[in-house]
């Protein structure tokens, strides 16, 4: 499942082009794609994350992939900051984005009425709010 997820966001990134805004938009969209964002897969991820804290084998697999993915988010946020002179700290904004997306996945897995489309919409709202010089509700500028 981790390989499938990495391949999925890697393919989305490859298709996004060179612009950091397009790459960030593509990564967020990939997390809510119907191929990845299913109740069954989200439940498996939640179980995996729960086990990772107590099992070194899980930590090694999960940790290395998470660091690479988070570093990518930080780099993209830093690039957008440099392009538009945003005043935020890139690492903090990337962490907030990742935490929000994981929280949306958790809510989707819990089945509290949130839909995949609404969750994706919430993530888009975050992108538009934080990166107004780069993002619209329809996509990157």
139 forms bridges with which residues in the sheet? Answer: 136
Question: 81: which 2 tokens?
Answer: 């900051």
Cα→Cα distances 141→2, 35, 138, Å: 31, 26, 9
Exposed / middle / buried, residue 3 (Cβ in 10 Å: 0-12, 13-18, 19+): exposed
Taking the domain 2-140, which CATH number applies?
1.10.357.10
- Report d(CA 120, CA 135) in Å as an integer: 14
Let me know the angle formed at the C-alpha of 104 by 3 and 92, rounded to the nearest 5 degrees. Answer: 85
Q: What are the sequence ranges of the domains in the chain? A: 2-140
- The pTM assigned to this predicted structure is 0.85
In this prediction, residue 111 carries a pLDDT of: 80
Tens of each residue's pLDDT in the chain, 141 residues: 777 777 889 899 999 999 999 999 999 999 998 888 877 777 776 776 666 666 666 666 666 677 888 999 999 999 999 999 999 999 999 999 999 998 898 888 888 889 999 999 999 999 999 999 999 999 999
């Amino acid at each position: 499942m981790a390989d499938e997820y990495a391949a999925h966001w890697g393919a989305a990134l490859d298709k996004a082009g060179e612009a950091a805004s397009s790459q960030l938009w593509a990564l967020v969209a990939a997390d809510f794609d119907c191929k990845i964002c299913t109740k069954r897969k989200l439940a498996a991820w939640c179980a995996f994350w729960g086990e990772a804290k107590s099992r070194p084998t899980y930590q090694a697999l999960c940790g290395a992939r998470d660091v690479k993915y988070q570093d990518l988010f930080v780099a993209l946020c830093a690039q957008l900051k440099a392009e538009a002179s945003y005043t935020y700290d890139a690492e903090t904004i990337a962490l907030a984005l990742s935490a929000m997306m994981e929280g949306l996945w958790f809510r989707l897995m819990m089945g509290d009425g949130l839909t995949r489309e609404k969750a994706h919409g919430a993530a888009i709202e975050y992108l538009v709010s934080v990166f107004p010089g780069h993002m619209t509700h329809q996509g990157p500028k």
